[in-house]
Amino acid sequence: MLITFFRSILLYILVLVVMRLMGKREIGQLQPFELTIAIMIADLASIPMADSGIPISNGIIPILGLLVMHMIISIINMKSIKAREIICGKPSILIHRGKIDEKALKKERFTINELQERLRGNGVVNLGDVEYAILETNGEVTVIQKPEKRNTIPEDFNIIPEYEGIPYDLVVDGKIMDKNLKVIGKNREWLKKQVEKFKMRPEDALVVTLDGKGQIFCQKKEL
C-alpha cells in the first residue's frame, strides 16, 4: 500500500516537472503535437501508478523520452518555418472581407453553427459585423470586426492616454516581495512608511500593490 502511495507521488512530481518544462500554455492553446505528448504522458504515468508489479522505470523512461521529443520538435519549429507548417499547420481564414469562405469551412470541418458559437465566444453575435475570422493552429478563432463595428479607442479621438506601466505586488499574504521592491528602487523602510498610512504594518496586509502612476493599493488581512 505504501509502495503504491509513494510511487504515485513520485510519478505525479515527475509529470508536473515535465509539464512545467513544456511551457505555460493552457490546454486550449496547445499545438496538436503538444496535446498528443500531454495525453501520452498521462497514460504512461497511470500504468505504473496503478500496478505496483510494473517497474516504475517503465513509466519514468518513456516520459523522459517524450520530454526530449517535445524539446526537439520545439527547436525544429523555431528554426524552420516549413517544418512549423507541417507540424502545427497554418491558420485558415473562415471569413474573408465579410464573406464566409465555404471551402475553408468544409476543409476544416466547421459548421455554420459552430462558427457562430465561436464568434459569440469572442463577443460578436452578428455575422455581418465580422471582417475576418481566422482559425488559428491551436483551434482558437481570432475575430476582426468591421471598422464601424469595433469599439472606439483613445487614438480614434487623437487622445494620448498617460503611461500606466504594470502594477507590482509589494506584499502578498503578509510576505514582503523584496525582489519587486528592488525593481522599483525602494526598500522595506519606504514600504513600512507607505503601509503605515493605512494604519497597519506590512505583515498585517493581505496585499499591497504599486501601479505605474505611483498609486498604492492596500488591504488588511481579516483571517
CATH topology of domain 92-149: CRO Repressor (3.30.240)
Please give the sequence-ordered ranges of beta strands (E in DSSP) within the chain, or none if there are none. 92-96, 99-100, 130-135, 141-145, 168-172, 175-176, 205-210, 216-220
Dihedral angle over CA of 62, 66, 67, 73, nearest 10 = 160
Q: Which residues contact 8 (CB under 8 A, 6 or more apart)?
A: 49
Identical fold between 92-149 and 168-220: yes
pLDDT for 192: 95
pLDDT given for residue 189 in this prediction: 95
pTM here is 0.66
Q: What are phi and psi of 108, to 5 degrees?
A: -90, 5
pLDDT for 13-52, tens place per residue? 888 788 777 766 655 567 777 778 888 888 888 888 777 7
CB hemisphere CA count around 79 (13 angstroms) = 6
pLDDT of residue 165: 81
**Residues with pLDDT less than 70, the chain:** 1, 23-29
Any idea where the domains of the chain sit in the sequence?
2-86, 92-149, 168-220
Rounded Cα distance, 37 and 35, in Å: 5
CATH superfamily of 168-220: bsu07140 like domains (3.30.240.20)
